[in-house]
Structure 1
Amino acid sequence: MVNEEAAPALMTRTWLNSLMQRYDLRPHKTLGQNYVVDPNTIRRIVRLSGIQPGDQVIEIGPGLGSLTLGCIEVGADVLALEIDDRVLPALSEVVGDKARVLHCDALTVEWSQLLGPGPYMVIANLPYNVAASVVLNMLAQAPAARSFLVMVQREVAQRFVAKPGTKAYGIPSVKTAFWGTATMVGDVPADVFVPKPNVASSLVRIDRHPTSALPDPEFVFPLVQAGFAQRRKTLRNSLSGMVSAEAFRLAEIDPGDRPEQLGIEAWVRLSEAVSSSAKPSG
């Protein structure tokens, strides 16, 4: 084991290579195990997250602890959720007793049982294939998580922040806008990772809207899902059987529009109009 006093404060390329060699580790591509090994980049990511001393932080996918160490450095209370049991011994060496590590899958964990009242800040380096699912699941099921800073493939980042009428705008864009405000806050160069990824990476910050101000997603999201399931069709066709002509009129939405033309406010109006038009008069 590396002498704790001799170890650098933040992850470096030399330290990471030593860990992988001593623990016989190979990065798992499907788990998105591209580790940040540049201390300046780590500090920049933590700074952009807004994490402050004493903040409660949930880290998804700590890997070998690059971002974990950055959060520890600023004095945060970190709970790191790691799915890959192969890296746990090395991760334990890196963080010691300065962070709590839980071996679990962020997609299946019961957030209501795991988290207290919060507030929590979330930081994560997420692989392409689960990034949207992890973030949207936490937004829906972990209201105590008030803000997120996620590092994802740029294509995924663009979907989180996309505006109506753009090519990237879709279901993740609408659902993210329902729960909070998403902002692209920076890019991360490929050469600060080990191994070096073949894709561009970006940082997205999401700040949650006050939960008390939100309508019921059970009324909004089925319309969004149905509308984007047939993206090239007009709303009149894609929402046939779900939305009446009267509901379109009440919501002041043209049934000849396509789903990518509607912002979250329009989808909420439409769901409220559907509910209102379905109520018996008198």
Structure 2
Amino acid sequence: MENRLYSAKYLKSIIESHGFKFSKSLGQNFLIDGNIVKKIVRDAGITKDDYVLEVGPGVGTLTEELALNAKGVVAVEIDKSLLPILDITLKPYKNIEIVHGDILDIDIKSLIEEKMEGGPVKVVANLPYYVTTPIIARFLEEDLNVESLTIMVQKEVAQRMVSLEGSKVYGSLSVFVNFYSNPEILLTVPKSVFMPSPKIDSAVIKLNMKKDLPEVDKEQFFKVVKASFSKRRKTILNALSSYGFNLEKDDFKIALETAGIDPKSRAEELSLEEFVKISKILPPLDI
């Protein structure tokens, strides 16, 4: 295959011939490193048995490599001006379908049912930085037949996602991601391999979805986590008791001691399992 879409020269000629202008508001940065493109697809574990849902194909750089390795690829693109370019760049591949829409608005469950035999599917994406968390949250929280997410995000966001208790960057995002998945950073990606080049480096992170989630009321659990990290410098007791819940400080102190947790601990010292314990012991929380 002579011209691959990750070739900077070829990609530039395509963009210029269509008069395409990069959108800052959509966070568009296209990969131009073939080794990284291939490594993402390889580390995502894509095989000829897999259906892949790609978010934001851009001009098809990653989509092309996915199509060469997967059974089928459905790529959701929000930018209407990229659709005619994708029609040309991905024309040789019969196992790709482009869907125009916003991944935050479309019915993902129906998409998987109708176009990917109901799944399971693997999600692969080079996510726009400004909308990373809402997209990840949607895939994690909704009842979707998704096996894994392999996604490009800001390097510091990836580090927060994989961090565990005791780390300086451990926070509510860490607990949230680890509640639903087993995350691992696959590789770091320098800003120099994008067109145009972003201001910061990126990382590819893989979230392997958990089949069995912790046995706890999710609403109660995430209320506890959010309140605990709302005031990082405070002790866990003071953070919970000052958040505005319908309980007295002594109620929280008793619950923490019952869970075997020092009330003077801080949120970043507590494991996911300890947050589960607290959530189970406390009565239903309200504000």
User: TM-score, normalised to structure 2's length?
Assistant: 0.87
2:234 corresponds to which residue?
A: 233
The CA RMSD over aligned residues, in Å, is 2.0
Tell me if structure 2 keeps the 8 A contact 1:84–1:103: yes
* Residue 256 of structure 1, aligned match among 255, 264, 270: 264
Q: Is 1:57 the equivalent of 2:65?
A: no
Identity of aligned residues (%): 35
The superposition leaves residues 143-199 of structure 1 with CA deviations (integer Å, 9 ceiling, x where unpaired) of: 311111111111111111112122211111110000011111111233322112221
> Matches of residues 7-86 of structure 1 in structure 2 within 5 Å?
8-86=3-81
Letter in 1 for 2:183: A
Q: Which amino acid aligns with 1:145?
A: V
* Structure 1: 5+ residue stretches without partners: 1-5
Compare 18-27 and 103-112 and name the one that shifted more: 103-112
What stretches of structure 1 move > 6 A for 4+ residues in a row? none
Which whole-Å CA distance do the structure 1 matches of 2:234 and 2:148 have between them?
35
Aligned equivalent of 1:95, options 90, 93, 101: 90
For the 8 Å contact 2:189–2:204, the answer to whether it is kept is: yes
Moved more, 6-15 or 140-149: 6-15
Measure, in 2, the Cα distance between the counterparts of 1:138 and 1:91. 25
How far has the Cα of 1:54 moved from its partner? 2.4
So what's the TM-score if we normalise by structure 1? 0.89
Q: Give the Cα–Cα distance (whole angstroms) in 2 for the partners of residues 65 and 53 of structure 1.
A: 19
Q: How does 1:1-282 map to 2 (within 5 A)?
A: 8-96=3-91, 97-116=94-113, 117-211=118-212, 214-240=215-241, 241=245, 244-275=252-283
Give the aligned partner of residue 3 of structure 1: none
Structure 1 stretch 29-38 or stretch 78-87: which is displaced more?
A: 29-38
Q: Aligned-pair distance for 1:115?
A: 2.3
Q: Deviations over 1:195-215 (max 9, x none)?
A: 122211111111111146653
Query: Does the 8 Å CA contact 2:214/2:276 hold for their aligned counterparts?
Result: no
How far apart, CA to CA, are the structure 2 residues paired with 1:70 and 1:8?
13
Relative to structure 1, the CA distance from residue 98 to residue 118 in structure 2 (aligned partners, 3 Å threshold; closer, same or farther) is closer
Distance (Å, rounded) in 2 between the aligned partners of 1:208 and 1:72 = 23
Asked if 1 retains the 8 angstrom alpha-carbon contact of 2:122 and 2:147, the reply is yes
Report the alpha carbon displacement of residue 10 of structure 1 after superposing the two structures with TM. Answer: 4.5
- Structure 2 unaligned regions, length at least 5: none
Specify the code of the residue in structure 2 equivalent to 1:47.
R
